[in-house]
Amino acid sequence: MSIFGNIISKIFGHSQAAQPGATPASEAAAQGGSPPPPGTNDDAASAGQPASLQNVDVAAILDGLAAKSSQKLDWKHSIVDLMKLLGLDSSLEARKELAQELHYGGSTSDSAAMNIWLHSQVVQKLAQNGGKVPEELRR
């Protein structure tokens, strides 16, 4: 699965878990539930195609995770903190892979510039995939 696909899956999974009686799409299917709507299953994300967030309140989910975290993570400004908050590998190597996946045109040797760009791109792509993201975060 792509790193961005993992980001969407983690956020979408938390959205599903937050709904009373809801289970993530793959669990619902495994339990004999009706198949998930197109674009919301784990197969799309595992094939490198992110699942749709379908108007999921991204900020509310991430703020909720941050409130429960033992670390002070500034997901609104830091790609590293956003990835840590979701339980993903936030190493330089993982961020370089994400940069390649999102077609970063700059030098991956300048990690500060790359990180700023990555955060901006991830937030924009979350919004493009149907996630509700505050306008001030969409630089």
Let me know how long the chain is: 139
CA–CA dist 44, 82 (Å, integer): 22
In this prediction the pTM is 0.74
Separation of alpha carbons 67 and 83, rounded Å: 15
Whole domain around residue 29: which residue ranges? 3-133
CA distance 14 to 124: 19
**Which range is most confident: 18-27, 31-40, 89-98?**
89-98
For the chain, what is the domain count? Answer: 1
1-5, 14-18, 117-121: lowest mean pLDDT where? 14-18
Residues 76 and 82: their CA atoms lie apart, in Å, by: 7
Q: Is residue 13 part of a domain?
A: yes
Angle, alpha carbons 51-54-60 (nearest 5°): 105
Which pLDDT tens digit goes with each residue over 40-94? 444 444 444 455 667 899 999 999 999 999 999 999 999 999 999 999 999 999 9
pLDDT at 107 over 80: yes
What's the token pair of residue 99?
A: 């940069």
**Percentage of residues of the chain with pLDDT beyond 70:** 71
Whether 35 is covered by a domain: the verdict is: yes
Decide if 49 is inside a domain.
yes
Residue 38, domain member (yes or no): yes
- Has residue 27 got a pLDDT over 60? no
Residue 138 lies inside a defined structural domain of this protein: no
Is residue 139 assigned to a domain?
A: no
Q: Look at residue 135 in the predicted model and tell me its pLDDT.
A: 87
Q: 123 versus 45: which is more confidently predicted?
A: 123
Mean pLDDT of 2-24: 72
pLDDT at 129 (0 to 100): 87
